[in-house]
């Protein structure tokens, strides 16, 4: 790829970023699958997943283009995206079993000498994680080679971007309106995805529009709650 001209390198980077974006969205379905929500909540979570992943990939894309501009820099993208996807998988497991995302406490545990050893992880857990690492790197190499092979094909990225913007609008304004009524199947998205930034207009609506805020949470039925209690 170091022999490609500037336009070809940009085209390759676009395909690589978009392919990894789709893979990140695919991984993100795990959050929706392990959530306990209503049908409306699931549909909104899908919009929020695409919206949230797109916002994250604005930063990811900027870094990726910088790598791709340098000779042999594109090879570092394999490591870069593998790290992103592995972090995502770790976060999914954290949310599934402990109901929180990667935070300062987790980072401190990972960076402190002997911190990981305090978890007393068994050999099979370490084996599973090693297998996942190999699998993710293998998938990333495949995505890299696939993008390198088809980067010259034309894809209407403008239409894709417009569609993503539509998902963002539905996500942000849908959350803003739902937060006015404390509609939990939608507002629970705040905690569902990592780095999710909700749009709220409660204070604005109350102060300038005279909207009376609801203080009691609205729960349609027991399946809309995040906790499952055994009977």
Q: Are 31 and 92 in contact (CB under 8 A)?
A: yes
First to last CA, the chain: 60
Domain boundary among 134, 158, 182: 158
Does one domain contain both 170 and 143? no
Is 226 inside any structural domain? no
Does one domain contain both 175 and 148? no
Query: How many domains, in total, are found in the chain?
Result: 2
Summarize the confidence of residues 29-38 as an average pLDDT. 92
The H-assigned helical ranges of 35-156 are: 39-68, 76-98, 104-111, 123-150
pLDDT confidence tier of residue 216, bands split at 50, 70 and 90: very low
State the Cα–Cα distance between residues 192 and 35, nearest whole angstrom: 8
Q: Are 28 and 51 in contact (CB under 8 A)?
A: no
Does one domain contain both 73 and 96? yes
Q: Are 54 and 168 in contact (CB under 8 A)?
A: yes
Does one domain contain both 34 and 144? yes
pLDDT of res. 170: 96
Q: Are 199 and 52 in contact (CB under 8 A)?
A: no
Is 22 inside any structural domain? yes
Does one domain contain both 122 and 174? no
Is 230 inside any structural domain? no
pLDDT confidence tier of residue 162, bands split at 50, 70 and 90: very high
Does one domain contain both 36 and 125? yes
Is 227 inside any structural domain? no
pLDDT confidence tier of residue 167, bands split at 50, 70 and 90: very high
Does one domain contain both 133 and 28? yes
Does one domain contain both 77 and 191? no
Domain boundary among 158, 190, 207: 158
| Cα 140–chain centre separation | 17
Q: Are 53 and 25 in contact (CB under 8 A)?
A: yes
* Structural domain range at position 176: 160-221
For a pLDDT cut of 70, what percent of the chain falls above it? 85
Does one domain contain both 40 and 146? yes
pLDDT, tens digit (0-9, with 9 covering 90-100), for 34-50:
998 899 999 999 999 99
Residue 183 pairs in a beta bridge with 218
Does one domain contain both 86 and 150? yes
Does one domain contain both 120 and 203? no
Listed residue (222, 191, 223) closest to 36, CA to CA: 223
Q: Is the pLDDT of residue 186 over 70?
A: yes
Tokens, residue 128: 């599973």
Q: Residue 91: phi, psi to the nearest 5?
A: -65, -40
Q: Are 218 and 183 in contact (CB under 8 A)?
A: yes
CA-based radius of gyration for the chain: 21
Is 14 inside any structural domain? yes
Does one domain contain both 31 and 132? yes
State the Cα–Cα distance between residues 29 and 53, nearest whole angstrom: 11
pLDDT, tens digit (0-9, with 9 covering 90-100), for 37-94:
899 999 999 999 999 999 999 999 999 999 888 877 778 999 999 999 999 999 999 9
Residues 6 or more apart whose CB falls under 8 angstroms from that of 211 comprise: 180, 205
Domain boundary among 105, 134, 158: 158
State the Cα–Cα distance between residues 171 and 49, nearest whole angstrom: 9
pLDDT of res. 148: 87
């Amino acid at each position: 790829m170091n022999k490609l001209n500037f336009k070809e390198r940009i085209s390759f980077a676009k395909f690589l970023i978009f392919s990894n974006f789709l893979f990140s969205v695919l991984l993100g379905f795990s959050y929706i699958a392990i959530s306990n929500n209503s049908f409306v909540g699931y549909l909104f979570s899908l919009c929020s997943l695409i919206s949230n992943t797109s916002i994250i990939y604005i930063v990811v894309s900027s870094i990726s283009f910088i790598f791709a501009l340098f000779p042999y820099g594109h090879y570092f993208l394999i490591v870069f995206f593998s790290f992103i996807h592995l972090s995502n998988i770790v976060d999914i497991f954290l949310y599934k079993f402990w109901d929180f995302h990667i935070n300062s406490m987790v980072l401190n545990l990972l960076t402190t000498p002997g911190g990981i050893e305090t978890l007393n992880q068994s050999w099979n857990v370490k084996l599973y994680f090693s297998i996942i690492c190999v699998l993710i790197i293998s998938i990333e190499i495949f995505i890299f080679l696939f993008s390198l092979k088809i980067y010259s094909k034309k894809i209407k990225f403008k239409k894709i971007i417009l569609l993503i913007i539509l998902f963002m609008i539905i996500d942000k304004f849908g959350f803003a309106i739902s937060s006015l009524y404390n509609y939990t199947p939608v507002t629970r998205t705040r905690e569902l995805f990592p780095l999710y930034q909700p749009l709220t207009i409660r204070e604005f609506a109350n102060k300038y529009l005279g909207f009376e805020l609801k203080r009691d949470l609205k729960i349609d039925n027991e399946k809309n709650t995040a906790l499952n209690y055994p009977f």
